[in-house]
Amino acid sequence: MLLVSESLMPELVTTAKEAMQRITQARSSGETIGLIPTMGALHDGHLSLVQAAKAECLFTVATIFVNPTQFGPDEDLDQYPRTLEQDMEALAAHDVDFVFSPNASEVYPSGFSTYVDPPDVAKPLEGEYRPGHFRGVCTVVLKLFNLVPADIAYFGEKDYQQLLVIRHMARDLNLPIEIRPCATVREPDGLAMSSRNAYLSDDERRQALALSDSLALANDLVANGETRSASILDEMKRVFKKAGIENIDYIALADPDTLQDVPAITQPTQALVAAHVGNTRLIDNRRIG
């Protein structure tokens, strides 16, 4: 374990007022401000966002907030891993300027009732299987953009639809911030990094490879000349069956901008999968074609 002395820890800010004071000061110094919104339980995927921010911003802020409004009633809000101490150490190692981790009552005060009604691109895929999810995501992301006004915000391509939803929201609501996508970070065997991987048993961890394997297969099929979506989807489904995963939410080949299904791979296409491995719901995606 890497020992980090207290003095190297980024400052932990929990109130909107303090966060705004620090941002205002950084802004008045003319520093470009980078924002990395997270729900904590940080892994190398998150840290790659921090690295991208550090590379282009003089002042970087990570937020850690497990946002209740983006979890459905039967989802894993209570179980979601909370590892603030380790998260702070990881962020210290990457030298972020401060960490904003507000209480739920600070973010959702009594009487709160205004939401963002998300853009059309929120409707398919995750939108069908997690009703209300993107409403919660858009609302909290807009709130964080206002609480910690930054020049550039960093989001992982691992949550591809979320990235699109936030980009469309930013365009539609004229948000004065750039949305910067960062490539998915994977384990050596291909599994996309996710805080939810911590839920997996050893057996489930092996099964979970079906997600990235099916995407790799789709990529190979297209590289070898297959263009018919139906055939590719069948082959992908077979990967899940073989791994013993029965509970698939979706396997999709979609337009990368609209997420509408495409019947044939005639141009770059987003392959997206979501499935339950044991009790853990995982998602992954990859650009193919």
Q: How far is the CB of 109 from a copy of itself (least distance, A)?
A: 7
d(CA 124, CA 128): 6
> Does residue 276 carry a catalytic annotation?
no
User: 121 vs 282, which CB is nearer to a copy of itself?
Assistant: 121
Question: Is residue 112 a contact residue for a copy of itself (CB under 8 A)?
Answer: yes
Contact of 260 with 150, CB cutoff 8 Å: no
Using alpha carbons, list the distances in angstroms from residue 73 to 23, 61, 130. 35, 30, 10
User: 113 vs 266, which CB is nearer to a copy of itself?
Assistant: 113
Q: How far is the CB of 225 from a copy of itself (least distance, A)?
A: 33
* Site track for a copy of itself across 1-40, x = CB under 8 A: ---------------x---x--------------------
Question: Is residue 113 a contact residue for a copy of itself (CB under 8 A)?
Answer: yes
User: 116 vs 222, which CB is nearer to a copy of itself?
Assistant: 116
Asked whether the CA dihedral 198, 204, 206, 212 is positive or negative, the reply is: negative
**One-letter identity of residue 21:** Q
Question: Is residue 114 a contact residue for a copy of itself (CB under 8 A)?
Answer: yes
Contact positions with a copy of itself (CB under 8 A) in 265-284: none
Q: How far is the CB of 39 from a copy of itself (least distance, A)?
A: 18
**Looking at 43, 46, 94, 168, which residue is catalytic?**
46
d(CA 278, CA 275): 9
Considering only CA atoms, which of 50, 105, 46, 39 is closest in space to residue 77? 39
CB neighbours of residue 47 within 10 Å: 19
d(CA 167, CA 182): 13
Contact of 286 with 218, CB cutoff 8 Å: yes
Binding site for a copy of itself (CB under 8 A): 16, 20, 109, 111-121, 135, 138-139, 142-143, 146-147, 149, 168-169, 171-176
- Residues classed as catalytic: 46
